[in-house]
Structure 1
Amino acid sequence: MAPTQKTRKTRSALQDVVTREYTINLHKRTHDLSFKKKSPKAIKEVTLFAQKAMGVKDVRISPALNQHIWARGVRTPPRRVRVRLERKRNDDEGAKEKLYVVASVVEGVTSFKGLETAVVEADE
């Protein structure tokens, strides 16, 4: 007897507007790089992380997150960073993607111990 074929669920969650907070370990992503490439690579890795976590190619880094990563210069980006990723609808007429992600830094994090991914409820 042939096994019954299972139906696959598609990822309908991609259509949802959602906000989550993640901790990104930049140290392991910039390890073994030359000094002049560390902070630029950290920015690229935040973008790649957001693309993978949110399933959207259009990722926009906030100026505050950019300044946080570059605060200690090109050689020493922070080891970890707490990031808020917001998936939003794209209202532009000629937009290639229906959704985009805004990555911003979460201020006031003193210790990363015990922090997990958290879904942030919308205030609107």
Structure 2
Amino acid sequence: MILEKEKKPKQQIPTPITLTKFYCQRISIMSKPDLVSRDYTIHLAKYTHRITFKKKAPRAIKEIKKFAQKAMGTKDIRIDAKLNKFIWSRGVKNVPNRVRVRLSRKRNEDDESDEQLYTLAQLVEVDGFKGLQTETVNA
């Protein structure tokens, strides 16, 4: 009588690369300062390409919110009225190709809100987009 060995599922052994990636993400999340403002250039044409004409401006607003959520790490994103008017300035289908946005992480004054911080997206008016990079603004 031959006894068969039980096959155990292989455990994934964490490699140094995955561990480093994990710890870097943890450190970056934990070490984010509360209040910070940064200027970003968002390439809206990239996000609204091949989108139905009647949905281009609403999609651009959604993409700005998604970009801000990823960049600042807050779920609560608020769009300034000037930025909204700039996106809609040429109508629903002719969205500007690029927009310079100042994303400011601020403390939430509402006691009832789940989030402690929110991000305010404001328009930064520039002459041209050539050579612009992400900048931290001291406000």
TM-score in terms of structure 1 length: 0.89
- Say whether residues 1:39 and 2:60 are aligned partners: no
- Say whether residues 1:114 and 2:131 are aligned partners: yes
SS at match of 1:83: strand
SS at match of 1:68: helix
Change (3 A) 1:70 1:13: farther
- Say whether residues 1:22 and 2:40 are aligned partners: yes
Which range moved further: 12-21 or 46-55?
12-21
Map 1:62-77 onto structure 2 (within 5 A).
62-77=80-95
Paired AA for residue 70 in structure 1: W
Q: RMSD of aligned C-alpha atoms?
A: 1.9
Highest CA radius of gyration, 1 or 2? 2
Runs of 4+ aligned residues of structure 1 deviating over 2 Å after TM superposition are 3-10, 12-15
After TM superposition, give the deviation of residue 57 of structure 1 in Å.
0.5
Name the CA distance, whole Å, in 1 between partners of 2:30 and 2:113.
20
Q: Which has the higher contact order (CA 8 A, sep 6+)?
A: 1
Paired AA for residue 39 in structure 2: E
After TM superposition, give the deviation of residue 91 of structure 1 in Å.
2.0
Paired AA for residue 98 in structure 1: Q
- Say whether residues 1:92 and 2:92 are aligned partners: no
- Report sequence identity in percent: 53
Name the CA distance, whole Å, in 1 between partners of 2:77 and 2:32.
14
Change (3 A) 1:53 1:27: same
Name the CA distance, whole Å, in 1 between partners of 2:111 and 2:50.
43
SS at match of 1:84: strand
SS at match of 1:29: helix
Name the CA distance, whole Å, in 2 between partners of 1:103 and 1:78.
16
Name the CA distance, whole Å, in 1 between partners of 2:45 and 2:122.
19
Name the CA distance, whole Å, in 2 between partners of 1:68 and 1:12.
35
Alignment length (residue pairs): 119
